[in-house]
């Protein structure tokens, strides 16, 4: 039996769109860490320039999900020796999710957009 899938990751040109699936509030670190590691490997790709987390399929998320998003952001920021820093945005965040981001003060780090397309357009390199 394989471990449950936590994220769906899709490429949109130089942007990786990551969608957490289902109930991420009940995850444990052992389930989440292998998938975070896979995302971090994908970010190392030479042509990847940005990441969008699409939170449309989750209403609530806790500290593990915030930690996962933060890990991706930290890896993307230095852009792995690339000339320009990578960009990250969130989209389709529920009202409760926005409150969580505000309380954790992560809303100051990552812009939040109402739709996936707006987020992808915002982080797309010029």
Query: What pLDDT shows up at residue 2?
Result: 46
In a domain, 69, yes or no: yes
Would residue 1 count as lying in a domain?
no
d(CA 102, CA 112): 11
Task: Decide which of 17 and 30 is more confident.
Answer: 17
Whether the pLDDT of residue 26 is over 70: the answer is no
Lowest mean pLDDT among 4-8, 41-45, 75-79, 103-107: 75-79
- Give the separation between CA 82 and CA 126, rounded to whole angstroms: 15
Q: Is residue 12 part of a domain?
A: yes
Q: pTM of the prediction?
A: 0.86
Which pLDDT does position 117 carry in this prediction? 97
- Give pLDDT tens digits for 34-75: 888 888 888 877 678 899 999 998 888 888 889 889 989 988
Q: At residue 84, does pLDDT exceed 60?
A: no
> Which residue range is the domain that position 14 belongs to?
7-123
Domain count, the chain: 1
Would you state the pLDDT for residue 79?
47
Distance CA 16, CA 10 (A): 6
Higher pLDDT, 24 or 65: 65
* Residue 42: inside a domain: yes
CB neighbours of 35 closer than 8 A, spacing ≥ 6?
Answer: 5, 6, 7, 68
Q: Is residue 2 part of a domain?
A: no
CATH code for the domain of 26: 3.30.750.24
* Assigned domain for 90 exists: yes
Residue 78 within any structural domain of the chain: yes
């Amino acid at each position: 039996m394989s471990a449950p899938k936590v994220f769906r990751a899709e490429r949109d040109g130089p942007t990786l769109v990551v969608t957490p699936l289902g109930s991420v509030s009940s995850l444990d670190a052992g389930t989440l860490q292998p998938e975070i590691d896979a995302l971090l490997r994908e970010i190392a790709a030479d042509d990847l320039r940005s990441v969008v987390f699409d939170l449309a399929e989750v209403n609530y998320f806790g500290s593990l999900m915030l930690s996962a998003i933060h890990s991706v952001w930290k890896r993307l920021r230095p852009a792995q020796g690339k000339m320009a820093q990578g960009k990250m945005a969130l989209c389709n965040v529920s009202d409760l999710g926005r409150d969580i981001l505000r309380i954790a003060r992560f809303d100051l780090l990552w812009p939040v957009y109402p739709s996936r397309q707006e987020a992808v357009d915002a982080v797309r390199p010029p």
